[in-house]
Amino acid sequence: MKHRTLLLLLLATILPSMGAELNPDVQKRAKQRIESLLGNRRGASSAPENVANPFVLPQTAPTNPVEQSPTGDLPLKGDILTRLGASLKVSGYIQTKGVPYLTINRQTYRENDLIPVREGGGSVTFLLLKKITEADFILELDGVELLQKHTVK
């Protein structure tokens, strides 16, 4: 089948240049076959315009958004910071060349580093590690600070 199509294509390109004409039926079938084989390469099927990024988790929006007042049922930043701060697991404290470091959730951080904390809905909140001392550290979220104790040395 492929050889026959190739032969028809070859004849369709060579014979007109030699002065001989092909049977119009053969020429019509050859052109149809060429179009069926090459049609997709010429842009017959275009790529979708808004392809979803496979490396980004989809953000779920509420099905029926409800307007909330700023003082309504929204949790306070201090409550969020307290909840997220309690989920951190501090497992080490070290001071190198006068710079204190904390190991939090198996990752080492120093002052002014951002700590990513994954919440239940899949979203990530970044907490600022504002200050580290030998006994405690200060976390900050949107201007609200939280003092946390650590017992590792």
User: How is residue 13 written in tokens?
Assistant: 């390109």
pLDDT digits (tens, 9 = 90+) for 19-77: 556 678 888 888 888 887 776 665 555 556 777 777 776 666 555 555 544 554 445 77
> For residues 45 and 50, what is the distance between their CA atoms, to the nearest angstrom?
15
pLDDT tens-digit readout, 112-145: 999 998 887 788 888 899 999 888 899 998 888 8
Neighbours of 117 (CB within 10 A): 20
> What range does the domain containing 93 cover?
77-149
CA 128 – CA 134 distance, rounded (Å): 18
Strand order in the sheet with 124-132: 113-118, 124-132, 136-141, 144-149
Q: Are residues 32 and 83 in the same domain?
A: no
> The tokens 């990024």 sit on which residue?
53
Residues 132 and 81 reside in one and the same domain = yes
Q: Which among 138, 144, 123 is positioned nearest to 88, based on CA atoms? A: 138
Could you tell me the pTM of the whole model? 0.48
CA 127/CA 21 separation, integer angstroms: 78
What mean pLDDT do residues 12-17 have?
69
* Domains held by the chain: number: 2
Residue 61 in any domain: the answer is no
Residue 60 lies in a domain: no
